Structure formats: structure tokens, C-alpha cells
Amino acid sequence: MERRLTAILAADVVGYSRLMGQDETGTLERVKTLREALIEPLVESRGGHIVKLMGDGLLVEFPSIVEAIRCAVEIQEAQANSENDLPDNEQISLRIGINLGDVIVDGADIYGDGVNIAARLESIASPGGVCVSGAAFDAIEGKLDFAFSDLGDHKLKNISKPIRVYAWSVANTQMVTKTLSGRSSNGESGLIPPVKPAIAVLPFKNLSGDAEYDYFVDGVVEEVTSALCRVRDFFVVARATAQTFGEESDSASAISDALGVRYVLQGSVRKSGNRVRISARLNDSETGNTIWSDQYGSVLEDIFDVQDEIAEQVSGAIHPSIRSAEVARSKKKRPDNLDAYDHVMRAYPHLWAHNKERNQEALASLEKALELAPSYCLASALAAWCHAQESVYLWSDKPAAEKSEALRLAKSAIANLDDDATALAALGAVYAMCSDDLERAVHFSRRAVSIDPNHAWAWSRLGWALHFAGNAEESLSSFNKALALSPLDPLAFNIYFGLAANRAVLQDFEEAILLVEKGLLENPSARWAYRMLASYAANADQLEKAAASLKILLEETPDLTIGRVKAGMPNITPAYMTPMIDGLRKIGLPE
């Protein structure tokens, strides 16, 4: 039996079943065109040959690992550019895994662990990304200048030993990463980018007693997986890999170990007549705890609408749940064992608090993250938001300096920008709060929700940007979307403040008061919001409530004046500023 050492590339189409469900004929034709017009010519030009096609995937062999990786990057870059004009849910994205290993040759086919590792690496690659094994990475060190992230050791299914994994993606080419020459893309050595957690969405159980209903259950899982793939805060294991685990056979812990993931999503679907009920739960493999669970019910009128609705609700709830779990995990680490990602996780609960002292703690954690990874886009964007809050929430007596620093950090984030919806939402907030460029603020916010349509905070920030720009109707719609996606989100209180600001523009001060009070019940530490409550109560002639609110506000900021409020606020439309300032003047705040 012949054996040889070779470079193996495995690739497949992300969300293939979903694309086929949307347009079967069109998808088949587009995938065929992709293979014939792009992949096959590039493979041939790099000396490789396609071993076999596998539905939505293919297996390729190269005599040179250098040429295999060059080919993979060229394919992903070309494909990303070719799909820019299409909506996110219609784009064809590829995952690619590459290994250098021993294979068994059987005629025109190849087998063995060398092939299996490439296939497992493909399954954990991000859409549009490439994952390579440590063996492949080591073999080309110093020969190529592509930026790869070190993802650490992964336990891959049916592979006896952990495999070191390195990842490349179009989005990360400008980030500070460990390159193949051993130096970062900005010339600094030894800087490793943050390692994100991973999640696997397992097949849901069909509890309906009707095997013909399996197609709907599969569709729900496909849509949930696709929705989660848009979230850049974690990796999502390819559905084809997750499907290899049955509904009953393995525990979440065993599955987590096999796939190298931290979180496992499981669920069930039950149909009765024209109604469907879906249950889902998210397990943390490190603690063994269920960190989120919920049930969803709907009437089956349009199957695809129901699948989309459930995927939206599940994804919107899971994102903040995983973020909270990552925060708790980072707190358990020793201070001398924190990476840049952990420092960002530690910053989040302080960011959510919306008060001066906690904001400073958040900034300190983010500065530590930037010391470790100076081009970490998310850390720069969140640090910029911290400085913006110092100005707008009246925590600093030098608002102009805070705005200037916020914009400096925002420009640093933009220079290293990737498709991270949280970073984009933070940038939208900074430009809305610190500049005259509301068009840019709206642009970043819209881009955030287009990348991750289930990102509650991004919808909230879009609501604020649109509100400042004077688009009250769309602003209201964005705030309501944010609240529907994640009513228990740690930043939900700020959605109520945004809804209140909308009502104030319409001179409905009574409703605005109720909404501010609801937000303060959610987060009493956001005491800056008493300026809204004092102003709206004064405009509603509820002078006793206005005076009490102003007293609390002055306890926080004793030297507060109308001038300081104006200096700290963004340059926004008179429709927003006028009722705010008029109310504060009415209750007696000095000029």
C-alpha cells in the first residue's frame, strides 16, 4: 500500500443547505461557476490537483505546502471580492482547512489521518477563512508573509492527539498577528491576537413523532448556525461536522472535547397541528452548567418565516449569554495569565455599568489589552467609546480632550478594522457622540447590523445615531428591534433612554419620564440619565420630580452648568437639544 507525505486542502461552502433552500438551481450554477472559473484554475496554477468533489466541498492535493497555502488565500481573497455586491444571506463563503501529513494512496483517492485532519480543520475555520495545522505552519515559517492567528491546541474529532491550529482570514489581514516570519504585521514580535471561544450547534431532536418533519428541524438548525456565523465574537463549527454527533449518543462535555469547543447548543422541536414549539439550551463545557435556555412557540403559516424568526431570537439571546460566560471565565484567571481577549472580557461588565468609576476600570483593562495587541480593533473601539462616555455623560471636566482622544482611538480601530459588529457599533457610538460626522456614525452602525442582524447593542447604537441625525421614525424602529432581540441584555436600560429621547422630541414628556424611570430601574448606577429625567419632568411641569432629579445630578457633578452640558453633548439636531436645555433652564440649572 503506497504512502506519501503531501499537502492536503479541504474546502466546503458555508450554509449550503440554506442557499439551496433559497434558490436550488441558482446555487448549483453559482457553485459550479465558482469551482470552474476560480478554484480549478488557481489549483492548477499552484501545481495542485483535485482529488475528489463532495457535494458542496472538495479535496485537493499539492506537492508543496507553500503553494497550497498560497492557493487557499488567493481563493478566499478572490471570492470575498466577487460577492461584495450581494446581501449577506446570499453570499457564497468557503471554509478551508490545510494539513501537511502522511496519506494512504488508493488509486486516484487518498485516505488517512493526514486527510482527516485537513477536513477537521476546515470544519472549525471561519467563513472566508483558512485554518492550517501546526505541521503545515512550521514547514513554511519564513517562506510566506500571510498573517495567521495562533488558536492554540484543538482536540479534533477522531484525531488522537491535540492539533495546533493557526487561522487566516480576509478580515484579519490588517490585525496584529503572528506572521509566518515570526513577526507581527506591524513589525513587532511575539504579539498573538486574541483567541475567541468556539460553539457547536448540534442537531435538534424531532419530538413530533413524524420523520417527514425532519426537514423543518434541519432547517431550524441550519438557520441558527448561519445566524451565529455572523457574530464575530466566537467561532462556529461547521454544521457538517456538528451533524456527525447524534441527538442522543454523546454528552455535551464529550462533544465539546471532540470538537475543541467551549459551548454546545442543543435543542428540540415539537409540532402539534399548525403550531410548533422549539426548546434550546446552551451548555458551558468548562463548568458543565447550562448558561442559557428558552422556549419559542409559533404558528406554522410560512415555514421559512418561522425558521428565520426562531434563528433571530436564538442568536440574539446567545450572543450576550456567551459574552457573560466569557466575562466570568476571565475573572477566574490569574492576573499573570491574561491575554488581550481576557482583558477585553474583563472590561465588559464595567462598560455596562455606565458610571464614572466603572468606566475608568473598563478603560484600564482595555489599555492592558492594547499593550499586548496594539492593533486589536475591538479593544481600540471600546476604549474610544469609554472616552466618548467621559464627555457625554459629564464625567470629565475636559470634554474636548476626551472627544479628541476618543476620535484618535477610533481612527486606530478603523485602520485595523475587521467585520466585528461590536467594534463597528462602538465606532458608530463614538462618531455620534464626539463629532459632526453623523453620516459616518450611521454608516458604521448600519454596517454593524448588516454583519450581525441579531446584535441588540448594534441596533441600539443605530437608534441613537439616527436619533441624533433627526430620523425619529427609523430611530424608534431600531430601538424597538434592539429590545425585541435582547430584552435582558445588560445594556437594555440605554434602549429605554433612547426611546425616551424619541418621545421628548415629539413633546410627549410624560411617556419620556416613564421610559427614563424604567431605564434607571434596570441600571440605577447610570445616574447621568437624571439630566434627562430633570429636563423632561420640568417640561411636563412635574417640578417636584424635576427638582429631586436635579439634586441627584448635582450630587454627581456639583459644578454642572448649561454650558458644560452643551460642551459634553454631541453636535446633534436642535430637535433633541432644545427640549433638553429648555427643561434644565426651567428647573434652574445655571448658564
What is the SS3 assignment for 108-161?
A: CEEECHHHHHHHHHHHHCCCCEEEEEHHHHHHCCCCCCCEEEEEEEECCCCCCC
- Is pLDDT at 192 greater than 50 in this prediction? no
Give dist(CA 366, CA 318) in Å, integer: 24
Run of H or E residues at 97: strand 94-106
Report helix, strand or coil for 583.
Answer: helix
Instruction: Give ∠ CA 202-206-210 in degrees, rounded to 5.
Output: 150
Q: What is the pLDDT of residue 10?
A: 94
Which whole number is the average pLDDT over 161-173?
74
Which whole number is the average pLDDT over 120-141?
86
Give dist(CA 28, CA 556) in Å, integer: 63
Run of H or E residues at 22: helix 16-22
Q: What is the pLDDT of residue 564?
A: 83
Q: What is the pLDDT of residue 526?
A: 83
Q: Whats the size of the chain, residue-wise?
A: 591
CB 389 within 8 A of CB 350: no
Give dist(CA 382, CA 367) in Å, integer: 10
- Quick: pLDDT tens for 452-484: 777 888 899 999 999 888 888 889 889 988 887
- pLDDT grade, residue 571 (50/70/90)? low
Which whole number is the average pLDDT over 53-62?
87
Which whole number is the average pLDDT over 260-286?
80
Name the nearest CA neighbour of 320 among 426, 231, 409, 429.
231
- Quick: pLDDT tens for 62-87: 999 999 999 999 998 888 778 766 76
Q: Which fold does the domain 2-192 belong to in CATH? A: Alpha-Beta Plaits (3.30.70)
- Is pLDDT at 332 greater than 70 in this prediction? no
Report helix, strand or coil for 75.
Answer: helix
Name the nearest CA neighbour of 294 among 307, 281, 285, 305.
281
Position 572, amino acid? I
Stretch among 54-58, 374-378, 499-503 having the lowest mean pLDDT: 54-58
Which whole number is the average pLDDT over 368-373?
87
- Is pLDDT at 298 greater than 50 in this prediction? yes
Which whole number is the average pLDDT over 482-489?
71
Q: Is 112 left (phi over 0), alpha (psi -120 to 50) or beta?
A: left
Q: What is the pLDDT of residue 325?
A: 67
E-state strands within 226-326:
235-236, 263-272, 275-284, 290-299
Q: Which residue has the cell 508543496?
A: 64
Please state the φ and ψ torsions of residue 76, each to the nearest 5 degrees: -65, -40
- Is pLDDT at 310 greater than 70 in this prediction? yes
Give dist(CA 96, CA 576) in Å, integer: 49
Report helix, strand or coil for 585.
Answer: helix
CB 220 within 8 A of CB 204: yes
Q: Dihedral sign, CA of 453, 457, 458, 459?
A: positive
Give dist(CA 60, CA 97) in Å, integer: 10
CB 232 within 8 A of CB 243: no
Q: For the domain with range 490-591, which CATH number is right: 3.40.109.10, 3.20.20.190, 1.25.40.10, 1.10.1060.10?
A: 1.25.40.10
Instruction: Give the relative orientation of helices 530-539 and 509-522 as an angle to the nearest 10 degrees.
Output: 160
Which whole number is the average pLDDT over 511-527?
88
Q: Is 401 left (phi over 0), alpha (psi -120 to 50) or beta?
A: alpha
Write out the three cell numbers for 483: 429590545
Q: Taking the CA of residue 337 as centre, how many other CA atoms within 13 Å lie in the half-sphere pointing to its CB?
A: 6
- Is pLDDT at 369 greater than 80 in this prediction? yes
Equal CATH topology for 2-192 and 490-591: no
Percent above pLDDT 70 for the chain: 82
Name the nearest CA neighbour of 351 among 494, 515, 520.
494
Selection from 270-274, 278-282, 404-408, 568-572 with the highest mean pLDDT: 404-408
- Is pLDDT at 175 greater than 70 in this prediction? no
Q: What is the pLDDT of residue 522?
A: 84
- Is pLDDT at 244 greater than 70 in this prediction? no
Q: Is 472 left (phi over 0), alpha (psi -120 to 50) or beta?
A: alpha
DSSP state of 184: B
- Is pLDDT at 381 greater than 60 in this prediction? yes
Per-position DSSP letters for 539-567, written without gaps between them = HTT-HHHHHHHHHHHHHH-TT--HHHHHH
Q: Which pTM does this prediction carry? A: 0.56
CB 130 within 8 A of CB 140: no
Give dist(CA 179, CA 127) in Å, integer: 20
Assess if CATH 1.25.40.80 describes domain 199-318: no
Q: What is the pLDDT of residue 338?
A: 61
- pLDDT grade, residue 187 (50/70/90)? very low
DSSP state of 170: G
What does the mean pLDDT of the chain come to? 80
Write out the three cell numbers for 78: 478572490
Q: Within a 10 A sphere around the Cβ of 573, how many other Cβ atoms?
A: 16
Stretch among 5-14, 78-87, 511-520 having the lowest mean pLDDT: 78-87
Q: What is the pLDDT of residue 99?
A: 93
- pLDDT grade, residue 183 (50/70/90)? very low
Q: Which residues lie below 8 Å from residue 555, measured CB to CB, with a gap of 6+? A: none
Which whole number is the average pLDDT over 214-225?
75
Radius of gyration of the CA atoms of the chain, in A = 26
Give dist(CA 340, CA 376) in Å, integer: 8
- pLDDT grade, residue 212 (50/70/90)? low
- Is pLDDT at 409 greater than 90 in this prediction? yes
- pLDDT grade, residue 253 (50/70/90)? low
Position 305, amino acid? D
Q: In the chain, where are the structural domains located?
A: 2-192, 199-318, 490-591
- pLDDT grade, residue 450 (50/70/90)? confident
Q: What is the pLDDT of residue 233?
A: 67
